[in-house]
Amino acid sequence: MNEAELMAQRLAAGRLMARRFRGFLPVVIDMETGGFHAATDALLEVAAVLIEMDPDGTLRRGATHSYHVKPFEGGRIDPASLTITGIDPDHPLRPALPERDVLQRIFREIRHAIRDYNCRRAILVGHNAAFDLGFLNAAIARAEVKRNPFHPFSCFDTATLAGAALGQTVLAKAVTVAGLKWDSSSAHSASYDAELTADLFCIISNRLRDSFREAEERACALGWMTAAAEAPDEPQMETEAPAPELPPLA
C-alpha cells in the first residue's frame, strides 16, 4: 500500500470516528489514588489509552500514556488504598511527576488524536467513569490547567455498558466473559486497568455497529446529518434542549 492509499484510509477513519461519537473522541482514563475523595485524596497514577478506528469502522486500542504522579501538597493517602494498589509513594525509584506536568503531557497527546480523527473534543471512558472524571477535574482545577480537551461532565462508563451487554459490572468478570484474559497480579496498575477497559469498550462498541448504522440512517432521514459529512454538528451539551424524538423502529 502506497503513501497516498494510507492517507486516504486515515482520512476515511477520521470521518467515521467523528460521526460515530458525534464529534467526541473516546479516551480511556484510569487513575490510582490515595482514597475515594477527589478534593482531598492524592492522585498517584494516571493512564490514558487512545482509541483508534480502522477504515471499516472497527474500534481498537491505541497507544497508552501512563505516569506516576507526585501527591499534591496536603493530599491525603489512606493506607488501605496503598494495600490495594501496591503503590509506594515514597519509593526512591518511583519516577513521579507533578500533577500539572502529567496532565499537560497526556493532554498534548489527546489533542493530537482529536485533530487526527477530525473530532472537536475528547470524552472520558472509564470503568465507573464518574470516579475517574471527578479526580481528573479536581486535578485540573488544582494545577490550573487551562486547555482541558475533555468534556467536563459527560463520560462513557464501561461498568454500565458491560452490565447491559454482558451481564457483568466488575471489570475482571466483564473482561473474562468478553473473551479476554484477566491477570489479577497486574490489576490496580493504572496502565493495565486502562488497557483492559479500552479493550472492553472496543468489543462492546464493535458489537453495536449495526445498531449505530441503523440509527445513523434514521438521523439522516430526519435531516439531522448527512452520511457524507466529514463531522457532525457541534456536540450538544446535555443542558441544551433534547433533539426531537425518533419515530419508532419498524
**Catalytic, out of 37, 65, 68, 188:** 188
- Phi, psi of 206, rounded to the nearest 5 degrees: -65, -35
Please name every residue paired with 150 in a beta bridge, in sequence order, or none if there are none.
122
Q: Is 188 a catalytic residue?
A: yes
Give the Cα-Cα-Cα angle 112, 115, 117 (nearest 5 degrees): 110
- Phi, psi of 156, rounded to the nearest 5 degrees: -110, 120
| CA atoms of 4 and 2, how far apart (whole Å) | 6
pTM of the model: 0.87
- Phi, psi of 32, rounded to the nearest 5 degrees: -105, 130
Contact (CB, 8 A) for 51 and 25:
yes
- Domain ranges for the chain: 3-212
> Which ranges of the chain does DSSP label H, i.e. alpha helix?
3-20, 79-85, 99-116, 129-143, 158-166, 171-177, 190-207, 209-221
Contact (CB, 8 A) for 193 and 187:
yes
Q: Please give the CATH superfamily to which domain 3-212 belongs.
A: Ribonuclease H-like superfamily/Ribonuclease H (3.30.420.10)
Written as nine digits, the cell of 105 is 503531557
pLDDT in tens, the chain (250 residues): 677 766 666 676 778 898 999 999 999 999 999 999 999 999 999 999 999 999 889 999 999 999 999 999 999 999 999 999 999 999 999 999 999 999 999 999 999 999 999 999 999 999 999 999 999 999 999 999 999 999 999 999 999 999 999 999 999 999 999 999 999 999 999 999 999 999 999 999 999 999 999 999 999 999 887 654 444 444 444 444 343 343 443 3
